[in-house]
């Protein structure tokens, strides 16, 4: 037993987004003293405004084969589903090179296998946390449908459907009329739909994090609102976390700071290719339409999710870094697209938001020990799937921390894979 454990120093989790909160809850369940640090209140980072989808079908990485042909279009169309800000291009080149490099058919196949291993049991991993928080009713387990406006769009996606099939993802291809029967609120503009029954969504992703964080406190965890600025280290051990306000002694640390994790990982000597895929949302409290299930478009890169507080239209990718101001015309484009899907869509008292997906260039998160540090763990880089994978990540981090068999090979998620 280390001195820190004898002193009963807590495990410190940095970042109270959905990933950090789930890690903290799982560590608490294992009987550790846990302190969660964040400069904002729980769930106010990227976890605030996502599409609310919890999915186990996301085995297709963002960088699909042939993505390199799309790079010129990404640069030319600032409102496209996937766009790059010219001003950020010089900084983005190393990430973009890896992103394109990870898009060969062989790489995509391997990555989908790694994603599948992680995604399997992602929803089940939430179950004990939902029970502890008493919020089982916040998750709707009724699937989602992916829609295609053109035959060409559907045909182009078919190889990815085959990939999903090889990974055991369940889905039904629906011709236009069956799609209309499944989701009558949609305009008759679609050629095809693909229904995925094993997808869930939470009715309010922000309240979801807050409720889980409140359960963490009720069960004995502690949350402090502080900005973390340093890690005190000796002989490959982190003994304390330095904040602007205080120094918090720790027996171990988990870095779960989302898109801002790089600076903290660098303090431990890890230089990782983490960047951000910025995304936008509009939430329409009085939308006038309410789809039965979430509706998603791979062609346009966004989802419409029925929430308890309105219709959330969320998505698209903008590669532009953490510093640039939002381009709200992208949020307008979301509305324009969604209003074609749902005739009569109303936008009174809407709210809009931009968030920073924490994205690795291979679409695979970093989960596991920090190289060269026995008591530091990484849990970030979940990109498009942070809500889906948060509980699973917590489960895995707690297992690794306790020396339990995580049940899967963790090498694909290791920090030193680059
Ligand atoms: C438009 C959009 C739609 C999305 N839709 C979905 C979806 O439907 N399903 C899904 O699974 N995923 C979705 N995602 C992705 C998902 O939202 C993210 O992967 C997830 O929120 C990341 O969670 P996190 O806890 O890692 O990061 P965050 O929620 O960003 O939390 C990180 C926290 O760390 C804190 N922090 C950072 N640095 C420090 C520091 N130095 N000191 C103290 N605190 C610090 C921040 O304040 C923040 O609260 C979407 C993302 C976007 C942008």
Integer CA distances (angstroms), 242 to 45, 153, 198, 246, in order: 21, 50, 42, 6
Q: How far is the CA of 152 from the centre of ligand 1 (A)?
A: 33
Q: Cα-flanking dihedrals φ and ψ of residue 9, to 5°? A: -65, 145
Q: In testing the pocket of ligand 1, which one of 52, 278, 382 has its CB within 8 Å of the most ligand atoms?
A: 382
Model confidence at 4: pLDDT above 70: no
Question: Is residue 178 within 8 Å of residue 125, measured between CB atoms?
Answer: no
Q: What is the pLDDT confidence band of residue 67, given thresholds at 50, 70 and 90?
A: confident
Integer CA distances (angstroms), 358 to 10, 11, 35, 192, 272, in order: 26, 23, 23, 31, 12
Tokens of 221: 């965890």
Mean pLDDT, range 128-155, rounded to an integer? 97
Which pLDDT does position 28 carry in this prediction? 98
Which pLDDT does position 100 carry in this prediction? 94
Mean pLDDT, range 130-143, rounded to an integer? 98
Q: Which atom of ligand 1 is nearest to the CA of 243?
A: 42
Cβ 118 under 6 angstroms from ligand 1: no
Q: Which atom of ligand 1 is nearest to the CA of 53?
A: 8
Q: What is the mean pLDDT of the chain?
A: 95
Of 59, 22, 26, the C-alpha closest to 42 is: 22
Q: Which atom of ligand 1 is nearest to the CA of 316?
A: 1
Tokens of 150: 């053109």
Contacts of 117 (CB under 8 A, 6+ apart): 408, 409, 412
Model confidence at 222: pLDDT above 80: yes
SS3 state of residue 228: strand
Q: How far is the CA of 39 from the centre of ligand 1 (A)?
A: 13
Question: Is residue 280 within 8 Å of residue 316, measured between CB atoms?
Answer: yes
The upper half-sphere exposure of residue 268, i.e. CA atoms within 13 Å in the direction of its Cβ, equals: 29
Q: Which atom of ligand 1 is nearest to the CA of 19?
A: 25
Q: What is the pLDDT confidence band of residue 332, given thresholds at 50, 70 and 90?
A: very high
Cβ 17 under 6 angstroms from ligand 1: yes
Of 350, 415, 342, the C-alpha closest to 379 is: 415
Model confidence at 344: pLDDT above 60: yes
Which pLDDT does position 202 carry in this prediction? 98
In this structure, are strands 11-14 and 34-38 parallel, antiparallel, or unpaired? parallel
DSSP assignment of 99-155, as one string? HHHTTSHHHHHHHHHHHHHHHTTTTGGGHHHHHHHT-GGGEE-S-EEEEESSHHHHH
Question: Is residue 352 within 8 Å of residue 331, measured between CB atoms?
Answer: yes
Of 144, 120, 278, the C-alpha closest to 200 is: 144
Q: How far is the CA of 142 from the centre of ligand 1 (A)?
A: 24
Of 418, 76, 21, 89, the C-alpha closest to 256 is: 21
Q: How confident is the model over 280-318, as pLDDT tens digits? A: 999 999 999 989 999 999 989 999 999 999 999 999 999
Supply the residue whose CA is at minimum distance from atom 21 of ligand 1: 47
Q: How confident is the model over 77-134, as pLDDT tens digits? A: 888 898 999 999 999 999 999 999 999 999 999 999 999 999 999 999 999 999 999 9
344-373 b/e with 16+ CB inside 10 Å = b? ebebeebebbbbbbbbbbbbbbbbbbbeeb
Mean pLDDT, range 24-30, rounded to an integer? 98
């Amino acid at each position: 037993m280390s001195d820190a454990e004898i002193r009963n120093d807590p495990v410190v989790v940095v970042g109270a987004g959905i990933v950090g909160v789930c890690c903290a809850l799982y560590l608490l369940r294992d009987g550790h003293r846990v302190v969660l640090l964040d400069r904002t209140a729980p769930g106010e980072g990227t976890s605030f405004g996502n599409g609310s989808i919890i999915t186990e079908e996301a085995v297709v990485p963002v960088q699909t084969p042939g993505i390199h042909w799309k790079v010129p279009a990404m640069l030319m169309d600032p409102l496209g589903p996937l766009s790059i800000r010219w001003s950020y291009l010089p900084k983005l080149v190393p990430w973009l090179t890896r992103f394109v490099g990870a898009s060969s058919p062989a790489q995509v196949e391997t990555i989908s296998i790694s994603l599948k291993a992680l995604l399997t049991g992602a929803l089940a991993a939430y179950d004990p946390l939902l029970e502890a928080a008493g919020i089982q009713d916040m998750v709707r387990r009724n699937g989602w449908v992916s829609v295609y406006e053109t035959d060409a769009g559907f045909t182009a996606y078919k190889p990815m459907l085959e990939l999903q099939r090889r990974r055991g993802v369940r889905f039904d291809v629906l011709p236009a009329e069956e799609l209309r029967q499944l989701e009558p609120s949609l305009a008759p503009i679609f050629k095809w739909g693909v229904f995925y029954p094993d997808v869930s969504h939470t009715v309010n992703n922000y309240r979801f994090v807050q409720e889980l964080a409140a359960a963490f406190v009720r069960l004995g965890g502690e949350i402090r609102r502080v900005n973390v600025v340093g890690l005190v280290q000796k002989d490959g051990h982190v003994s304390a976390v330095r904040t602007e306000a205080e120094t918090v002694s720790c027996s171990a640390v988990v870095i779960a700071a989302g898109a801002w994790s790089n600076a903290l990982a660098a303090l431990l000597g890890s230089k990782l290719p983490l960047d951000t895929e910025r995304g936008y949302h509009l939430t329409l409290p009085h939308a006038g339409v309410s789809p039965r299930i979430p509706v998603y478009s791979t062609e346009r890169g966004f989802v419409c999710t029925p929430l308890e507080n309105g219709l959330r239209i969320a998505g698209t990718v903008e590669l532009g870094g953490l510093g640039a101001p939002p381009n709200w015309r992208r949020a307008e484009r979301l509305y324009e697209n969604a209003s074609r899907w749902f005739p009569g869509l109303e936008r009174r008292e809407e709210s809009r938001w931009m968030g920073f997906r924490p994205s690795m260039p291979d679409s695979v998160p970093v989960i596991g020990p920090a190289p060269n540090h026995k008591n530091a763990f990484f849990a970030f880089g979940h990109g498009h799937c942070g809500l889906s994978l948060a509980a699973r990540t917590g489960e895995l981090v707690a297992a690794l921390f306790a020396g339990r068999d995580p049940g899967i090979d963790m090498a694909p998620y290791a920090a030193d894979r680059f």
